[in-house]
Amino acid sequence: MGTADIIRTIVQEFPLALYGSILVGIVCAFLGVYIVARRVVFLGAVLTQVSVMGLALTFLPFFPVPHTIGSLAITLATVVIISRMLTGKKIPRDGVLGVVFITSVAARILIMQKAQRVEVAEIENLLRGDILFVTPELFELMVVAFVVAMALHLLFFKEFTYTSFDPETAQTQGFNAAGWNLAFYLIAAVVIAFATHMVGDLFVFGFLVIPPVSAMLLTRNVKAIFILSVVIGILAPVVGLFLAFVIDVPASPAIVAVASVVMGASWLWSVVAKRG
Amino acid sequence: MPPLITFTNATLGYGNHIILRGITFAVDAGEYFGLVGPNGAGKTTIVRAILGSLRPLSGTVKVARPDGLPVRFGYVPQRDTVDYVLPYTAREVVMMGRYRDLGLLRRPGAKDREAVARSIAHVQMEAMADRPFRNLSGGQKQRALIARALACDPDVLVLDEPTNGMDLASRIAILDLVRELHREGSLTVLLVSHLLDDVANHVHRLAVVEREVFSVGPVDEVLTGENLSAIYNMPVEVQRSHGRTIIIAGGGNGNR
């Protein structure tokens, strides 16, 4: 199969996989800049695991709600509970996130033990990130989450940047730093819950971290970091999906691998630029 | 003219934990006031009460301009409380000082850029304005943070430990800058520091804070060997020479 045939196959047979992974790539790469800047990278891993645990919970008879709604509800509830703890000084952030992470993983394993065999396979598919089988309903939900998240962040760019850079002074200037902090985490939770359901935890966590870090290696301009991160968030899924077809490997790991290669190249470039 | 800031028998703390009990003092408009005391004595608690982020457990804290308009604070935090991951330029950091007046959904315009340029010029940072804030020296960072506080056109400039961790030259330069800013306009300055020398030689009046002790008054009256020896629980001598206050701690054996 030639290059043109592969591209035609992806566009014609798997358009939702292509556009869905680009959507997730953009929004995760954008939010990821804040996540890396706020030094809560582990939050991305935690929320993807909480989201998957919430998803798994919906397979049990006592939580009979749609998968995405269940996942979203559990993720939002977790964010509300931990957001205050993340800004407090009693327990280190890593400690809070570590507890939530390991509890979610343990709960998911226990839930999978109690789920029906066929459903266990379904949960495992979600964990691997089967982006080739994105449903139109899920894609539409993701579009809504994408539009809302990006609109809020672009409209309130100065509030999010100020309260992230210097929450103490922002508070003295009348900005409710804790409120904006919670708003940020809630938006991240909605995006992560939908995105994880759609493309899997590997893809989501990868794109919350790798494009922002790559962009930070490439430029010293804050706006350019956001733009470059989003550009990587668009290009890596396209190239990764193409390579997944060419060498016949799962899509999500291929896409994350491409992003990692971009990061490696960015690091090399930053080293060379520094010496030059 | 009524004072700008008035504490009347105010007890401050968090929940059931009382930090300072029944303090009374006032800061007049245009005054250069110092808040001094050891680390953990309650200085930041007083600042929070002044800035409105902490309500007194009892008593009152009144902050009001004579014309009834709200007092505008320009706050200069300690340098290590800001985030250094994203490479904001000094100019972008100063622009944050304009965000409050912009309100929701509005972007900075020409008027804001002019105000930022004026603030940067005020602290003599033009040459450094477009460099990443995180790459600046301690003194340059402090100047940028002071410029940000000035950019919001404040009535009161509040500086929290502005010379902490600086070398001697940078310390003097920052303190001279603050003194100039105070002299130039009608700015009220509140300097918070645990460094007695910094405060003693710059402010008009000061408050010495140490939980059980709270003394307010002119520098000469409050900064006495007797007061400081009691607060720091060690012999402290205060000498005046060539118009400057010199504080010698540790029994006058040369250790300062």
B35-64 average pLDDT score: 91
Chain A residue whose CA is closest to B75: A169
Residue A119 has what pLDDT? 62
Of residues A70 and A120, more confidence is placed in: A70
Please give the average per-residue pLDDT across B130-158, as a whole number. Answer: 93
Q: Which of A110-114, B95-99, B233-237 has the highest mean pLDDT?
A: B95-99
Do residues B38 and B232 make contact, with C-beta atoms less than 8 angstroms apart? yes
Is residue B227 within a helix (H) or strand (E), and if so which, with residue range?
helix B225-232
What are the phi and psi torsion angles at B234 (to 5°)?
A: -160, 160
d(CA A67, CA B48): 45
Q: With a cut of 50, say whether residue B254 has pLDDT above it.
A: no
Q: Which residues face B191 on adjacent strands?
A: B34, B159
- As a whole-number percent, the residues of chain A with pLDDT over 70 amount to 93
Mean pLDDT computed over B187-199: 89
Give kind and range of the element (H or E) at residue B23: strand B17-27
Digit-coded pLDDT (tens) for A10-52: 889 889 999 999 999 999 999 999 999 988 888 888 998 998 8
B-chain residue closest to A33, CA distance: B86
A3 in B contact zone (CB under 8 Å): no
Between B159 and A67, residue with greater pLDDT: B159
Which residues face B6 on adjacent strands?
Answer: B26, B62
Query: Which residues of chain B make contact with A38, given a CB cutoff of 8 A?
Result: 83, 85
Q: Is B235 on the interface with A (CB under 8 A)?
A: no
Q: Which long-range contacts (CB under 8 A, 24 or more apart) does A66-70 make?
A: A67/A197, A68/A138, A68/A141, A68/A193, A68/A194, A68/A197
The size of the A-B interface in CB pairs under 8 A is: 72
Mean pLDDT of B38-50: 89
The answer, yes or no, to whether residue B19 has pLDDT greater than 80, is yes
Q: Tell me which of A73-82, A157-166, A207-216, B160-169 is least confident.
A: B160-169
Q: Among candidates B49, B77, B22, B1, which has minimal Cα distance to B216?
A: B22
Q: Which of A45, A47, A29 is nearest to A213 (CA)?
A: A29
Decide: A232 and A266 in contact? Cβ < 8 Å: no
Helix (H, G, I), strand (E, B) or coil at B105: coil
The predicted pLDDT at position B81 comes to: 81
pLDDT, one tens digit per residue, over A120-169 is 666 666 655 567 778 888 899 889 999 999 999 999 999 999 999 999 89
The reply to whether residue A159 touches residue B88, judged by beta carbons under 8 angstroms, is no
Please provide the DSSP assignment of chain A as one string. --HHHHHHHHHHH-HHHHHHHHHHHHHHHHHHHHHHHTT-HHHHHHHHHHHHHHHHHTTSTT--S-HHHHHHHHHHHHHHHHHHHHH-SSS-HHHHHHHHHHHHHHHHHHHHHHS-HHHHHHHHHHHHT-GGG--HHHHHHHHHHHHHHHHHHHHTHHHHHHHHH-HHHHHHTT--HHHHHHHHHHHHHHHHHHHHHHH-HHHHHHHHHHHHHHHHHH-S-HHHHHHHHHHHHHHHHHHHHHHHHHHT--HHHHHHHHHHHHHHHHHHHHHHHHH-
Residue B66 has pLDDT above 50, yes or no: yes
Residue A87 clears pLDDT 80, i.e. is over it: no
CA-to-CA distance for A269 and A250, rounded, in angstroms?
Answer: 29
Higher pLDDT, B255 or A214: A214
Question: Residue B246's pLDDT is what?
Answer: 85
Q: What residue of B is the nearest CA neighbor of A165? A: B83
Tell whether the model's pLDDT for residue B34 goes beyond 70: yes
Q: Mean pLDDT: which of A252-261, B77-86, B216-225, B245-254 is highest?
A: A252-261
Contacts of A216 in chain B (CB under 8 A): 85-87
Phi, psi of B194 (to 5 degrees): -95, 0
End-to-end CA distance of chain B: 40
ipTM confidence: 0.85
Q: Check residue A169 and give its pLDDT.
A: 92
> Nearest residue on chain A to B76, judged by CA atoms?
A169
Do residue B96 and residue A166 have CB atoms under 8 angstroms apart?
yes
Asked whether residue B252 carries a pLDDT value surpassing 70, the answer given is no
Q: What is the pTM of this model?
A: 0.86
Q: How much is the mean pLDDT over chain A?
A: 89
pLDDT band, residue B251 (cuts 50/70/90): low
What the block records as the tokens of A93 is 């952030």
What proportion of chain B, given as a percentage, has pLDDT over 70?
97
What is the identity of the amino acid at A182?
L
Amino acid found at B205: R
Residue A3 φ then ψ, to 5°: -60, -45
The amino acid sitting at B168 is L
| Nearest chain B Cα distance for residue A166, angstroms | 5
Question: Are A163 and A177 a contacting pair, CB within 8 Å?
Answer: yes
CB atoms within 10 A of CB B14: 11
User: SS3 of B248, please?
Assistant: strand
